Structure 1
């Protein structure tokens, strides 16, 4: 999510029939790849005026996208690029920002942005399963979400806190949330601060983007105490860090308005990392905000923040790139 618009602070290698993307630095230089199996589309359109931000992909080859315009959710086949809106959303003035699907593919968790709500829906029918509203303070933005075995964790972009929605052994969400204040090294900015969220490689802590601190930083958060420690990324700054995607020990940091993804190799505990690649595609990246993986490819919705005079009539799409 981007702070420049409406009060918010928010890869591709060569495709089967498209332009080449650049991955640097890699020992072999530029990467080139087609779609999965050489047959699946490397990109596809979303509904006109949809205004996407988040993406989720589970164990099946389907991607889910949330709309900033009205909270709707769109489901697309990665094999064909075809899809449909499965959840109409609460309507104008409401959003779906980050979203994640659970391992059973029975629940899709939605971060409601300025609506200050968390929603859980059925990913097949779009039927609502749980809703928690009135979260945080008046300026709270429920931005992004990550799932752990016992909880769904959500960032608040305007308050130094995380929301925790407990999950039972079957993955069923609780009826209420708990708030985890952030302390330690966490520095809250004057406005938009927290953005994307992930788990550390060892699963024992959380990683949260802080777009304000020290020119853009990654913080490791103890989920029991809220104690935050800055992750040592060397000289890498992430002032435009948005979505995070962890694959093994490689963390993909989507830096949306500058149209690049920085790939960082973390240690097991997530206390330090080394930048190993930067992925760009000037011809196809139009402010990608978040990322999800299927097979050997990363998929990203182009959010197009700041590019369109009227976002309600703009053409939106999804692009993909090979994993580093």
Structure 2
């Protein structure tokens, strides 16, 4: 009897192990590694919303300004905003207000959409040519937009529930500055940008607006695009280099070191080259392929760290 009971026990243990493995595989498969977007959609920005929702916008001529809403788990996508002829570049979602803040490229504009209906909630004319409003980050009390053609950031104040102010405030930067991606500390006191002409990483105090060089021991971040801060790790997309730099920052964010690069699937898959911006969901990063690259299939790509 003891022998039979032991065999039964071992059988149950093995069965439990199989179930756990199968469950883990099912869970892993629940989030696809590649989410196809409409042909030649031309994405540039990506934002993660409530639940498993994501958003991405179009640069391409035929769909310029269209914003898609999708599901990271199912891979389904639908139109949130129909094409309006104004490029949609970087974007971020504010869960407090369920609003989507979108940079609008060479128009010098930023637009805030209702993330459920797609209705325009607010619109801002930050700058006139030459300008390229490229990306945006949201803190507790403001949204900050970047400009890759002018030496400014643009600040839109946010109320306690995330409601945007009627007007925006330009923040002058040193005349040689041109910024693309932007990230912020959780308390909103520090912003991070890469100065395009020098490829150097800077932090900007949101009280003084003074850029301070982050000491990377002489290392630089050429072709820097989207930025994302998770804890003390800063992820920097290097678009035409087909990789994401992983930068470990010090406790005070004043210095750091490039710990390595995430290169897959950007280097091995010809259909997923030139990542531009990234968003985080769970333990994974999600990147979009470049809307400014040659016409090709476009994807949202899951990148495991």
TM range (shorter): 0.7 to 0.9
Q: 1:318 and 1:127 mapped to 2: Cα distance?
A: 24
Q: Deviations over 1:288-314 (max 9, x none)?
A: 0011111111110111644x2xx3xx3
Matches for 1:265-304 after TM superposition, within 5 Å: 265-281=248-264, 282-284=267-269, 285-303=272-290
CA spacing shift, 1:39–1:251, aligned 2, 3 Å: same
Q: Deviations over 1:159-193 (max 9, x none)?
A: 1110000111111101110011114xx733xxxx3
CA RMSD of aligned residues (A): 1.9
Q: 1:257 and 1:304 mapped to 2: Cα distance?
A: 12
- SS of residue paired to 1:97: coil
Structure number with the bigger relative contact order (C-alpha 8 A, sep ≥ 6) is: 1
Matches for 1:198-237 after TM superposition, within 5 Å: 198-200=183-185, 203-213=188-198, 216-237=199-220
CA spacing shift, 1:230–1:248, aligned 2, 3 Å: same
Q: Which residue of structure 1 lines up, in the alignment, with residue 5 of structure 2?
A: none
CA spacing shift, 1:268–1:248, aligned 2, 3 Å: same
Q: Which residue of structure 1 lines up, in the alignment, with residue 156 of structure 2?
A: 165
Structure 1: runs of 5 or more not aligned? 1-32
Q: 1:108 and 1:200 mapped to 2: Cα distance?
A: 20
Pair 1:76-2:70 in alignment = yes
Structure 2: runs of 5 or more not aligned? 1-23
**Stretches of 4+ aligned residues off by more than 6 angstroms:** none
* Contact in 1 for aligned 2:97/2:163 (Cα 8 Å): no
* Contact in 1 for aligned 2:140/2:188 (Cα 8 Å): no
CA spacing shift, 1:227–1:58, aligned 2, 3 Å: same
TM-score by length of 1: 0.80
CA spacing shift, 1:138–1:318, aligned 2, 3 Å: same
- SS of residue paired to 1:76: strand
Q: Which residue of structure 2 lines up, in the alignment, with residue 132 of structure 1?
A: 124
Q: Across the two proteins, how many residue pairs are aligned to each other?
A: 275
Q: Which residue of structure 1 lines up, in the alignment, with residue 84 of structure 2?
A: 90
CA spacing shift, 1:72–1:267, aligned 2, 3 Å: same
TM-score by length of 2: 0.85
